[in-house]
Amino acid sequence: MGIHMQILIAVLLAFKRNWHIIAGLLLGIICGIVFPQSQYPVAHQVFSFVGQAFISIIQMIVIPLVISAIVIGISSVGDNKQLARFGKKMILYYAIITLAAVTIGAVLGIVIRPGEGAKEFINPDIAQELQGVVANMVADNHSNFSQILLNLIPKNPFYSLSMGDMIPIIIFVLIFSIALSKIGEINRPVVSFFESIFAATMKVTDWIMYLAAPGIFALVAASISSFGVSIFQGVGKYFIAIAIGLLIQFAVVYPLMLKIFSKVSVVKLYGAVTEAAMVAFGTASSSATLPLTITCCEKRGISSKICSFVLPLGATLNMDGTALVQTIAALFLTQAYGIELPLIVIVQIALLAAVASSTCAGIPGAGLITIALVLNGIGLTPEQMIVGFSFLFALDRFTDMMRTTANVVSDTVVAAIIADNANEINYELFNNPELQKEII
């Protein structure tokens, strides 16, 4: 069967499986247009409330899920040499994907020049309103590298847990799990305990997925009702640059990675993870999507051993879509302010974006917070950043939905490659969508 036919079948299958989510998305857009916040504040509040409730419900199981998945993942890998091999490969693939993303972002920023002429659209009122918020975020955002590195060390894991700081939690759980895998049979009670937690969180995920369509409807309606579709005027080039960049990730970088490093079919993989991609688009949160990302991969043939190791780490550390958007956003801002940057500074922006993105949490808007690091790194004044930030704020939800979809799909690309290399894919199931169970 030709590649076009395969893509068509994958798209049709995605529609068939996900018609209610697509209906939620479309209805959300329509209701957002029909009920603008300025005229219907109560409708907007209702949309926001339902959307926030949906995200909170999903997030409530993220911490137990991530911790139990990593503990099981590492202890089931058992033999440390294999773990080290998986770990090294995972970091290598995530690094390649992120470096490709920032390179594409930088090239598009230079070629398309998204910021040209955008200055007039920076709304001074919004800028003032958000001044306090942004100033606090920038102050909180540990604007130097040594502080960022120090903050990664979980001084008190329980404090990090209560604050939901994912990276220190993951570092602690990794160390703890490696220790567990080294102490032999005595680790059984603890590992079984986490196995039960993992099974229960997956069950809760199944239940939560009944809420996916109304949740996504409400989130989309709330965004469109706040900002309207007019927000797209004048910032068209910024969006186009981001859309082209992410499209290149999907159409070139991920397929190339799969082709070079594995024998996984990109069409089959995209078909298998469509639900996760759509929920990522609707929620703009890789962490909130994680339960579904794991479910899609596991139920469609990638072993749980690989999924529970690679996907939770990816959902926290691998943010290639965010890195791409941060690079374009930084160039957009400097261009909007008429600042010409030498190539070396653009390279610096790209590298800073690669680091900044991986320190950001998998929640909506996190990438906008860590972009302060990128801008600080090139010496923009806070005043410039405040106006620029407010502009980015107004647009953020839309770019967030797009970049989060890339963040999630690239995690599954890496999981599929590692699973293929380790002989951990059930190809009979993976290549045969007819055998795959519906998830949402």
In the complex, what is the shortest distance from the CB of residue 33 to ligand ASP, in angstroms, rounded to a whole number? Answer: 24
Backbone angles phi, psi at 44, to 5 degrees: -60, -40
Ranges of H-type helices in 60-123: 62-77, 80-112
Question: Closest-CB residue for ligand ASP?
Answer: 367
Tokens 């967030």 correspond to what residue? 400
In the complex, what is the shortest distance from the CB of residue 365 to ligand ASP, in angstroms, rounded to a whole number? Answer: 5
CA distance 284 to 278: 10
Quickly count: other Cβ atoms within 10 Å of residue 306's Cβ: 27
Quickly count: other Cβ atoms within 10 Å of residue 140's Cβ: 10
In the complex, what is the shortest distance from the CB of residue 438 to ligand ASP, in angstroms, rounded to a whole number? Answer: 25
In the complex, what is the shortest distance from the CB of residue 255 to ligand ASP, in angstroms, rounded to a whole number? Answer: 21
How many helical (H) and strand (E) elements, i.e. helices and strands, does the chain have?
A: 21, 0
In the complex, what is the shortest distance from the CB of residue 360 to ligand ASP, in angstroms, rounded to a whole number? Answer: 5
Q: Which residues 6+ apart lie within 8 Å of 31 measured at CB?
A: 43, 47, 217, 221, 224, 225
CA distance 101 to 237: 18
Cβ-based burial of 343 (10 A; exposed 0-12, middle 13-18, buried ≥19): exposed
Query: Are 271 and 13 a contacting pair, CB within 8 Å?
Result: yes
Closer to ligand ASP by CB, 93 or 393: give it. Answer: 393
Closer to ligand ASP by CB, 36 or 291: give it. Answer: 291
CA distance 359 to 322: 11
Closer to ligand ASP by CB, 246 or 416: give it. Answer: 246
CA distance 123 to 117: 14
Q: Give the total residue count for the chain.
A: 440
In the complex, what is the shortest distance from the CB of residue 404 to ligand ASP, in angstroms, rounded to a whole number? Answer: 4
**Which stretches of the chain bind ligand ASP, using CB under 6 A?**
284-286, 319, 322, 360, 362-367, 400, 403-404, 407
Tokens 């959307």 correspond to what residue? 51
CA distance 20 to 282: 13
Closer to ligand ASP by CB, 302 or 361: give it. Answer: 361
Closer to ligand ASP by CB, 59 or 187: give it. Answer: 59
In the complex, what is the shortest distance from the CB of residue 182 to ligand ASP, in angstroms, rounded to a whole number? Answer: 32
Closer to ligand ASP by CB, 83 or 356: give it. Answer: 356
Closer to ligand ASP by CB, 177 or 285: give it. Answer: 285
In the complex, what is the shortest distance from the CB of residue 359 to ligand ASP, in angstroms, rounded to a whole number? Answer: 11
Closer to ligand ASP by CB, 68 or 285: give it. Answer: 285
Q: Is 303 helix (H, G, I), strand (E, B) or coil?
A: coil
